[in-house]
């Protein structure tokens, strides 16, 4: 990636990513422009231009038209296309062109709600990885309990990575995710010395898989080499079991993308099923009178909790380890979620977060060399 210029660069927004494309993208670009950001809306100009003009008028935001720049892209990648193949076959696809804008330094970051495998592939092929990083990871948030008196029981979110970019991961991948995740936690969530743990099937270092055991060993040795007082940037806690993922014990949870995907989707499914099961249990209990009243009284709190697990609330999921700021959104993301993602991308690119990742990766070369390759 080219050196950042002095003034904030625009954010490249894939104009054809969401399921309802390009409506949500256009409205998000207008909202971001009204909030002071500069946006490059990337997609078929003949299709996007008239819609953008119409919405600027409908929303009474004509004054912000100058902050939205259309970047033409002749092709589109569908959700069900094979990611690597589509990215190779369609260099002019909107998500590829949006990545290109970051690669040439014209945009500071990119946001896409399109085929996330294709965004990942395009980022790998076109931006490349941070020097020394083997694989990038997707970051997700997990709400945490807190025992702090003023917290109302709810603490700051922890980050979990990889949330799904890599089905299988090596020990080196996991160790690098620990560094990337800790850096994100510090730069984004302002956790001074993040507590990092590897998800496993037990606490003892003998548990886990060959990859988690080797990652555990390298991170433990690294911590000992630095001494407990040294500021290595993060504290390695060892293994964490899945039943403690919401317990507020750590700030960064490291796992492979398969397990991360299962963990996040299961949390989502449990949050959705739980209130309905609870309502069923209430209706079936002897004191069933107030079941309806209780469940409707709970509704606002339920929505609040559900929102904390929804990546769109957080503005999307950052992709860490590629050589430029990239944010992934759900295909179902609406204008508010995309606008939040554009704000996240702006902060990612312009407020030292990406530079912190570059620095952390360079500073942890020795740790990465501690990791033994599998036989």
Q: Can you give the binding site for its own copies, defined by CB under 8 A?
A: 80, 82, 143, 145, 151-154, 164, 167-168, 199, 201, 204, 206, 208-209, 241-247, 257-259, 261-274, 276-285, 287, 290, 294, 297-298, 300-302, 304-305
Helix-then-strand count for the chain, H and E: 12, 11
In whole angstroms, how close is the CB of 77 to its own copies at the nearest point? Answer: 16
H or E, element range at 13:
strand 11-14
**Rounded to whole angstroms, what are the CA distances from 216 to 25, 165, 197, 210?**
42, 21, 9, 10
Q: Closer CB to its own copies, residue 255 or residue 343?
A: 255
Among all chains, which residue has been given the structure tokens 């299961």? 266
In whole angstroms, how close is the CB of 107 to its own copies at the nearest point? Answer: 30
**Cis bond upstream, residue 295 (ω within 30):** no
What is the CB neighbour count within 10 angstroms for residue 70? 17
Distance CA 109, CA 131 (A): 18
In whole angstroms, how close is the CB of 296 to its own copies at the nearest point? Answer: 11
Q: Closer CB to its own copies, residue 148 or residue 226?
A: 148
Q: Closer CB to its own copies, residue 163 or residue 187?
A: 163
Q: Closer CB to its own copies, residue 226 or residue 307?
A: 307
Which of these, 354, 271, 276, lies nearest to 305 by C-alpha position?
271
In whole angstroms, how close is the CB of 338 to its own copies at the nearest point? Answer: 22
In whole angstroms, how close is the CB of 295 to its own copies at the nearest point? Answer: 10
How many residues in the chain?
Answer: 375
Q: Closer CB to its own copies, residue 170 or residue 259?
A: 259
Q: Do 278 and 295 form a contact (C-beta atoms < 8 A)?
A: yes
């Amino acid at each position: 990636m080219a050196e950042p210029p002095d003034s904030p660069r625009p954010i490249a927004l894939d104009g054809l990513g969401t399921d309802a494309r390009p409506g949500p993208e256009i409205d998000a670009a207008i909202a971001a422009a009204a909030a002071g950001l500069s946006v490059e809306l990337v997609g078929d100009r003949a299709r996007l231009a008239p819609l953008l003009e119409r919405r600027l008028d409908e929303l009474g935001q004509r004054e912000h038209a100058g902050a939205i720049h259309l970047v033409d892209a002749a092709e589109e990648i569908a959700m069900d296309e094979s990611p690597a193949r589509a990215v190779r076959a369609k260099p002019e696809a909107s998500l590829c062109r949006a990545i290109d804008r970051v690669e040439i330094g014209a945009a500071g970051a990119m946001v896409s709600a399109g085929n996330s495998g294709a965004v990942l592939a395009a980022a790998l092929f076109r931006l490349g990885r941070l020097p020394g990083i083997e694989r990038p990871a997707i970051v997700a948030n997990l709400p945490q309990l807190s025992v702090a008196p003023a917290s109302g029981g709810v603490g700051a979110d922890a980050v979990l990575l990889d949330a799904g970019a890599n089905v299988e991961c090596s020990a080196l991948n996991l160790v690098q995710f620990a560094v990337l995740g800790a850096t994100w936690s510090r730069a984004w969530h302002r956790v001074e010395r993040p507590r990092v743990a590897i998800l496993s099937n037990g606490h003892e270092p003998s548990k886990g898989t060959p990859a988690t055991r080797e990652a555990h060993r390298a991170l433990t040795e690294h911590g000992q080499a630095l001494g407990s007082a040294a500021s290595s940037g993060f504290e390695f806690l060892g293994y964490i079991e899945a039943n403690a993922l919401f317990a507020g014990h750590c700030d960064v949870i490291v796992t492979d993308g398969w397990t991360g995907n299962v963990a996040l989707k299961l949390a989502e499914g449990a949050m959705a099923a739980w209130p309905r099961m609870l309502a069923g249990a209430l209706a079936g209990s002897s004191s069933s009178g107030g079941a309806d009243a209780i469940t409707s009284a709970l509704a606002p709190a339920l929505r609040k909790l559900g929102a904390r697990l929804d990546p769109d609330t957080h503005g999307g999921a950052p992709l860490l380890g590629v050589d430029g700021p990239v944010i992934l959104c759900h295909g179902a993301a609406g204008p508010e979620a995309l606008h939040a993602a554009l704000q996240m991308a702006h902060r990612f690119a312009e407020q030292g977060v990406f530079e912190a990742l570059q620095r952390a990766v360079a500073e942890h070369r020795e740790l990465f060399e501690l990791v033994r390759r599998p036989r």
